[in-house]
Amino acid sequence: QQQVKQSPQSLIVQKGGISIINCAYENTAFDYFPWYQQFPGKGPALLIAIRPDVSEKKEGRFTISFNKSAKQFSLHIMDSQPGDSATYFCAASVGSNYQLIWGAGTKLIIKP
Amino acid sequence: DAGVIQSPRHEVTEMGQEVTLRCKPISGHNSLFWYRQTMMRGLELLIYFNNNVPIDDSGMPEDRFSAKMPNASFSTLKIQPSEPRDSAVYFCASSFLGYEQYFGPGTRLTVT
């Protein structure tokens, strides 16, 4: 019940296309859902996060869509660029517990 | 701010040797996390501290691993004795009141 399942494991998208990464969870107590971006040789960095009281959050080309009833959330990258090539992790946590439960990661490659 | 500082950045050691990884969190942050990242197992939380107190060490793989946080600005992760299967990238992350975690650059450990 503590797991966060992320798919796909890897993704190749043409430059200018839309990249979509999906995550699913079981624990309905989760109330914070961040996405982290990791470049090779670097630590993960927070990209965007959402709480379950909204269905969508947009920051620039990055959008989180959240479906509370389906217990799913996804990351959409619009107009994908080669610089977006990285590994993306979804995660979830319960508010008072600072421990993040991490997805397995998605390696995204944007082809020029 | 300099961000989370980890040392050393790379460590190569022989099996059976003691290894000490160091972390300086961002000033003012009150939570500190140690992670291990491998291709096979992804990103694993080893232990986290809140206000210098270990809260959850259930991710520590075995008694060979130990972590301390003697004050708010310093933490260590020690492996004694080290084994080849401990080879991984070890990340330290810190946060203020939970939620967004700021990761350090990581220590790449190779045990031969």
- CATH number, position A63: 2.60.40.10
Q: Is the pLDDT of residue B31 over 60?
A: yes
Q: Quick one: tokens of B55? A: 């809260």
For residue B107, CA distances in Å to B11, B47, B84 come to 7, 16, 15
Q: How far apart are CA B93 and CA B104, in angstroms?
A: 6
The nearest CA of chain A is from the CA of B48 a distance in Å of 8
- Look at residue A106 and tell me if it is in a domain: no
> What mean pLDDT, rounded, does chain B reach?
94
- Look at residue A57 and tell me if it is in a domain: yes
* A17 neighbors B67 (Cβ within 8 angstroms): no
Write phi, then psi, for A84 (nearest 5 degrees): -85, -10
φ/ψ bin of A70: left (φ > 0), alpha (ψ from -120 to 50), beta (otherwise): alpha
Give the largest CA-CA distance in chain A.
Answer: 43
The answer to whether A93 contacts chain B (CB < 8 Å) is: yes
Interface test with A, best of B43, B48, B60 (most A CBs within 10 A): B43
Nearest CA to A99 out of B44, B17, B24 is that of B44
Q: Is the pLDDT of residue A111 over 80?
A: yes
Give residue-wise pLDDT tens across range A55-79: 999 999 999 999 999 999 999 999 9
The answer to whether A102 contacts chain B (CB < 8 Å) is: yes
Task: Choose the closest CB to A102 out of B43, B50, B56.
Answer: B43
- Look at residue A111 and tell me if it is in a domain: no
- Look at residue A112 and tell me if it is in a domain: no
| The length of chain B, given as a count of residues | 112
The answer to whether A82 contacts chain B (CB < 8 Å) is: no
Rounded to 5°, the CA angle B91-A41-A58 comes to 85
Instruction: Determine the pLDDT at residue A98.
Output: 72
Interface test with A, best of B32, B52, B101 (most A CBs within 10 A): B101
Task: Count interface pairs A-B at CB distance under 8 A.
Answer: 48
* B99 neighbors B1 (Cβ within 8 angstroms): no
Give residue-wise pLDDT tens across range A10-23: 999 999 999 999 99
**Close Cβ partners of A96 (under 8 Å, ≥ 6 residues apart):** none
For residue A10, CA distances in Å to A14, A61, A93, A103 come to 14, 20, 24, 13
The answer to whether A62 contacts chain B (CB < 8 Å) is: no
In chain A, how many domains are there? 1
Other beta carbons within 10 Å of A112 = 8
Determine the structural domain holding residue A87 and report its residue range: 4-96
- Look at residue A103 and tell me if it is in a domain: no
